[in-house]
Structure 1
Amino acid sequence: MTGTPMSSLAADPPAAQQPDWPDPAALRAVADDLAARPALVTAAECDRLRARLAEVACGAALTLQGGDCAETFDGGGPERIGAAYRTIRQMSAVVSEAAGLPVVQLGRMAGQYAKPRSRPDETRDGVTLPAYRGDLVNGEAFTLESRTPAPQRLRRGYDRAAGTLEILRGLTAQRGGEFFTAHEALVLEYERALTRQAPSGTYDLSAHLVWIGERTRQLDGAHLDFVSRIRNPVAVKLGPTSTPDDALALIDLLDPDREPGRLTFIARMGARSVREVLPDLVAKVTASGARVVWVCDPMHGNTVSAPSGHKTRWLIDILDEVRGFFEVHRALGTHPGGVHLELSGEHVTECVGGTYEVLPAQVPDRYETACDPRLNRGQALDVAFELAELYAEVRAGRRP
């Protein structure tokens, strides 16, 4: 299935967090090339995920989403992809057994090559250059050549995503079950170029699910406009400043027919805010009759600095936010749908704590992320065992 790129940014609502592409003609040529290439996933697979997430929305299943903060073109070899895949599978098995429910597995893989930034540029030693926005846009090296957005990177991102999907499909075929992919729909030219028309509607076939982040969820913005037009299951991140009116407006825009499985809300509140902010959001959304999937992202609201200056996260804070998420849903009688984690299948030392403890002073030892700190395999399993206890309590009808 091939297609043509959706309309250019100039004809759309304002688009936040877009690269300042220096050569529009080169960008259009790359987009046209991608539009003529095979889709990365199929509409049938997207529909199947939507049906699985409908089960989560109705309380009959859970979802576990995990993977790199930002994938890199050179860091996604078969061993690392396999390690992350196996970690997610093992976590899902632990949680599923305790909850007595199937787990819908999604990898932040095969497309998570771009990241929003708090500032458009970065200054070092008096030199200011564009911020690193992920390998899909520019390079991490602090040089003008590396940091200049390069359209050909979109083509390379497609090639890397196709290779990753081939590995994931092979692993899934060996072990059985289902495994879906997801990423943030950030660089709109890439997402539009991989949008295709199928008999059942229009799909972004760069991934099975795409989400809109906290920095790009403007109701009058191009990102929400884009995902409102596709049939994929979609998600939106909700931070601590989100209001019930925000959530209800998002439902009206993205899920006007109130179809379970269409819309997921990923709450990224932080351990200090989840118990204060989330209850009103969940209560008002539930009262509206919408059947959304509620997922906890306990990573992004809990970022601090290590003594070395590296960004890090304490596992104790991550687990506290997860517990708060469960407390809210238990009190309201609603379904805690799952978690969304940044993790690695290897023993990186980017987050602090865990059964096999990473100390604050050890953070720089294996700090390999291209952007934000990830749980290592042991820490990810610590989260899984905590989730197992919480879901077992829910299953038994006890308050977490």
Structure 2
Amino acid sequence: MAHDVATDWTLSSWRAKEALQQPTYSDEAALDEALDHVSSLPPLVTSWEVENLKEELARAAHGERFLLQGGECAESFQGCTADVITSRLKILMQMSLVLTYGLNTRIVRVGRFAGQYAKPRSSDTETRNGTTLPSYRGDIVNSVEFTAEAREPDPQRMVEAYASSSLTLNLVRALVKGGFADLRHPEYWDLDFMQHSPLAEEYHAMVDAIEDTLDFVEAVTNEKLDTVESVTFYTSHEALLLPYEEALSRTVPHKEGVYNLGTHLPWVGKRTNQPENAHVEYARGIENPIGLKVGPDMTPSTLKRLVRTLDPEDEPGKLTLITRFGNDKIADRLPGLINAVRDTGQTVLWICDPMHGNTEKTDDGTKTRRFDNILGELEQALDIHAAEDSYLGGVHFELTGENVTECIGGARGLSEADLGQAYESPVDPRLNYEQSLEMAFSIVRKYRELHR
């Protein structure tokens, strides 16, 4: 159902506002050519998929679903391979299996992939050994290599980002529709190195229990549970590079309004969530469900304004608030914001991003996150929502299915000294396969503790 947008909104009305975190392209003609090309390409997702997700998020806001949103901090073109995509999908499937069984509710699976190629940066430039170059803003803009040529924003990269997103979606859809997600064969999901995990015994015990349950239901009903052979994965990314987002936003036959058909769930990030600026202007007019990152500097009055701007009609499933405060700030910030939204009378989906507020640097300048701080913020979020008679309906993680060493702690007890073993992220540290699975178990334990 299309929502009414003020008559002053158009697909390009954001261009009259201040647009933060945008690269400067030296060749306007090349930029226009690349955008025209992207605009002519087929959509990556469909409007009915977008509407289906909106319905699922509306259910999550009322406690009938739980959202698992996860994936790369910043996808790379080099990482668009079958192995990387499959391992990422496997860990998300493993986590959703644990959450489905442990929370006894349906999981809405939203990947932070097939479009997460742009990254906001704290500075427009980076200086090394006296040389200053433009900051790396994600593969959709420039390259991570520290050379003048690599760091020059290249509009042709938007075409490559579209292609990589399309290839990723193609494999994801083929896998989840082809039996990869069959609950009767969860052994397909095991990563090769899972056997070394200290959580392996607990995980496989849960898998065995699920298999026993499915066998029992099939025996009683004398019917094969075909409906569990495939699941739905939706996509999400930060709608940061606005010319690219505009190029993938389209009208749809027989439906009112404009859809971003480059992703199911675009979100507005913490650095671009000012009510008067371009990103909010763009987001307020499209039909997609919208995510909004809410950080420790968000005031109750500003959040009220954003809620009313992004979801003026209180449309079910329209707005997801993704909180990211930090383990040391959430107790002070979150309760007032929950009450502020309650004062609007509108229904939103609250989810917790315990990653971004807990980033720190080691003495040698390596960015990392501590597992205990990530878990601490998540557990506090669950406690606070329960105390405020609210519902935390999901989680948002930066993670990978690869065997990386980027975050400190977890069951393996990774230390600062271990970070150099397999630190691969060019931007932010991610949970590895084992830490991600441990986090899923921790959510289940905390939920069961709160609902005894």
TM-score band, normalised by shorter chain:
over 0.9
Give the C-alpha shift of residue 8 in structure 1: 8.1
Q: Which residue pairs with 1:237 in the alignment?
A: 293
Does structure 1 conserve the Cα–Cα contact (< 8 Å) formed by 2:35 and 2:244? yes
Instruction: Give the equivalent residue in structure 2 for 1:390.
Output: 446
Which residue type is aligned with residue 319 of structure 1?
L
Q: 2:407 aligns with which of 351, 360, 376?
A: 351
> Aligned equivalents of 2:50 and 2:16: distance in 1?
25
Aligned partner (choices 235, 241, 248) of residue 194 of structure 1: 248
Amino acid of the structure 2 residue aligned with 1:87? I
Equivalents in 1 of 2:266, 2:389: separation in Å?
28
1:190 shift after superposition: 0.6
Query: TM-score when scaled to structure 2?
Result: 0.85
The equivalent position to 1:179 in structure 2, one of 225, 233, 237, is 233
Q: Is the 8 A contact 1:72 1:370 kept in 2?
A: no
**In structure 2, how many angstroms separate the alpha carbons of the residues matched to 1:295 and 1:364?**
32
Structure 1 residue 38 corresponds to structure 2 residue 13: no
| Root-mean-square deviation over aligned CA pairs | 1.3
**How far has the Cα of 1:393 moved from its partner?**
2.8
2:139 is matched with which residue? 135
Shift of 1:365: 1.1
Deviation string, structure 1 residues 361-394 (Cα, Å, up to 9, x no partner):
0101111112000000000011101101122234
User: Residue 266 of structure 1 contacts residue 297 of structure 1 at CA under 8 Å; is this kept in 2?
Assistant: yes
Q: Which residue of 2 aligns with 1:77?
A: 81
* Contact 1:70/1:112 (8 A) holds in 2: yes
Alignment length, in residue pairs?
391
Aligned to 1:54: 58
Q: 1:254 aligns with which of 310, 313, 316?
A: 310
The equivalent residue for 1:7 is 12
| 1:286 Cα deviation after fit | 1.9
CA distance in 1 between counterparts of 2:300 and 2:96 reads: 31
Letter in 2 for 1:267: T
Contact conserved, 2:11 with 2:282, CA < 8 A, in 1? no
Query: What letter corresponds to residue 151 of structure 2 in structure 1?
Result: R
How far 1:92 sits from its partner (Å)? 1.2
After the TM superposition, list the runs of 4 or more consecutive aligned residues in structure 1 that deviate by more than 4 angstroms: none
1:346 is matched by which residue type in structure 2? E
CA distance in 1: counterparts of 2:359 and 2:399, whole angstroms: 14
**Matched residues in 2 for 1:258 and 1:6: separation?**
21
Largest Rg, 1 or 2? 2
Superposition deviation, residue 100 in structure 1 = 1.5
Separation of aligned partners in 1, 2:247 and 2:426 = 25
Partners of 1:48 and 1:40 in 2: CA distance = 15
For normalisation by structure 1, the TM-score amounts to 0.96
**d(CA) in 1 for partners of 2:80, 2:362:** 26
Q: Does 1:272 align with 2:276?
A: no
C-alpha contact (below 8 Å) 1:110/1:160 kept by paired residues: yes
Percentage identity across aligned positions?
43
Residue 173 (structure 2) aligns with: 169
Match of 1:157 among 161, 165, 180: 161
Q: Which residue of 2 aligns with 1:219?
A: 275
Tell me how far apart the structure 2 counterparts of residues 279 and 318 of structure 1 sit (CA, whole Å).
Answer: 19
SS at match of 1:375: coil
Partners of 1:157 and 1:364 lie apart in 2 by: 29
Post-superposition CA distance 1:173-201 (Å, at most 9, x none)? 02201110000000011100000101132
Give yes or no for contact 2:13–2:281 (8 Å, CA) kept in 1.
Answer: no
Amino acid of the residue matched to residue 68 of structure 2?
A: L
Kept after mapping to 2: 8 A contact 1:270/1:298: yes
Q: Who is 2:122 aligned against? A: 118
Quick check: 1:69–1:370 contact (8 Å CA) kept in 2? Answer: no
The code of the aligned residue for 2:345 comes to G
- Any idea what the Cα deviations from partners look like across 1:63-103, whole Å, max 9, x if unmatched? 01000100000012111111111111111111122212111
**CA distance in 2: counterparts of 1:171 and 1:105, whole angstroms:** 14
Match of 2:151 among 141, 147, 151: 147
Q: Which whole-Å CA distance do the structure 2 matches of 1:104 and 1:344 have between them? A: 18
Corresponding position: 1:339 with 2:395: yes
- Matched residues in 1 for 2:301 and 2:93: separation? 36
Compute the displacement of 1:308 (Å).
Answer: 3.8
> 2:365 matched to 1:361?
no
Identify the match of residue 432 of structure 2 among 376, 392, 396.
376
Distance in 1 (CA, whole Å) between partners of 2:143 and 2:71 is 21
Distance 2:233 2:279 in 1: 25
1:214 and 1:237 in contact (8 A); partners too: yes
Q: Check whether the contact 2:13–2:282 (CA below 8 A) recurs between aligned residues.
A: no
